[in-house]
Amino acid sequence: MKKTFLKKALSLFILLPFAMIAVSCGTLAAAAGTGAQIAGAFGVIDQDTANAITKSSDAIGKAAEDITPEQEYYIGRAVGANILTNYKLYTARPALTAYLNQICSALTINSPKPEIYSGYHVMILDSDEINAFATSGGHIFITRGLIACTDSEDALASVLAHEISHIQLQHSIKAIKTSRVTQALLVTGTSAAGVAAGSQGLDLGELTDIFNESVGEIVTTMVNNGYSQTQEFDADTTALSLLASAGYEPSSILDMLHALEKNQGSHPGGFNKTHPTPAKRITSVEKSVKKFTVADTRSFRRDRYNKTK
């Protein structure tokens, strides 16, 4: 009777963390691993099952860890490297790259997050495609095709503000963290399947490889498919605030979106694949743009834009 009671109690102790993973992944997953080893020691479950549960618990605990600024940077750098396998950097006009970085600095220094682990850096991609990317590490890529759609410094600033918003709102990191937990649960299933089949299951190194490979696939998918519509709208709204704080005309984002609406049709891929339609974004921005007003100083920036672009 005592063994039956112990078996039920320990089973509950082991399974409860998995049922409540959304509450506190790290703490409860650790409890699951401990419970599994205790159960194995008492003979309530066999040792292979106990080891499998412990390995799975380790993966779930890892998934719950906070991503540090350093990790954000290195993940972002990996994403940037992935982008540069498909695009070449445009290096013919260093002055244009420097100009974009000056605009980026004006936006970020007046933003809620003026400093990140390795700073913000803007690079131009040598492509006629209308597109832009931002990594969690602060690397911002903008294509020649997108730059060609602008007609003012403020329009350029609106593009950069949108990408900076993705970084500061941690959209890519949030997607990765969610998927890391999902993969940890898949690893749980992998361990259980191995034991159920009578094998020794995968060793922890193999489970880690599966885990890490899945993160790489998630990052690639995120870049190719784009963020959710809600995240894109949030980035536009945050961009309005960044523009206003730096003294740029917030409504310039609407000018930019109208330009995209006019030009995207003749440029397949790019924003067409990764962003909501310009019409949807215009409707969203129009709901908020009137909340942000600044003195109209666009004329003071016209000459340097014309000289540099």
Residues β-bridged to residue 143: 125
The residue with greater pLDDT, 108 or 231, is: 108
- Residue 145 pLDDT > 50, yes or no? yes
The residue with greater pLDDT, 193 or 90, is: 90
The full set of domain ranges for the chain reads 1-65, 69-172+225-308
Mean pLDDT value of segment 60-76: 68
Contact 167, 61 (CB under 8 A): no
> What's the confidence (pLDDT) of residue 214?
43
Q: What is residue 288's DSSP assignment?
A: T
CATH number of 69-172+225-308: 3.30.2010.10
In percent, the amount of the chain with pLDDT more than 70 equals 59
Which range, 72-76, 139-143, 257-261, has the best average confidence (pLDDT)?
139-143
Looking only at Cα atoms, what is the longest distance across the chain? 87
Helix (H, G, I), strand (E, B), or coil: what is residue 298?
coil
> What's the confidence (pLDDT) of residue 182?
55
Mean pLDDT value of segment 18-44: 42
Cα–Cα distances (Å) from 299 to 40, 51, 172, 246, 289, in that order, read 75, 68, 36, 16, 20
Quickly state the pLDDT bin for 32 (edges 50, 70, 90): very low
What's the order of all strands across the beta sheet hosting 139-143? 121-125, 139-143, 132-134
Quickly state the pLDDT bin for 12 (edges 50, 70, 90): very low
Q: What are phi and psi of 124, to 5 degrees?
A: -100, 135
Q: Which two tokens stand for residue 72?
A: 């954000």
| pTM higher than the cut 0.85 | no
> What's the confidence (pLDDT) of residue 209?
61
Cα–Cα distances (Å) from 172 to 14, 137, 165, 231, 290, in that order, read 32, 10, 11, 10, 29
Comparing 10-14, 190-194, 210-214, 248-252, the range with the smallest average pLDDT is: 10-14
Comparing 59-63, 113-117, 259-263, the range with the smallest average pLDDT is: 59-63
Contact 255, 239 (CB under 8 A): no
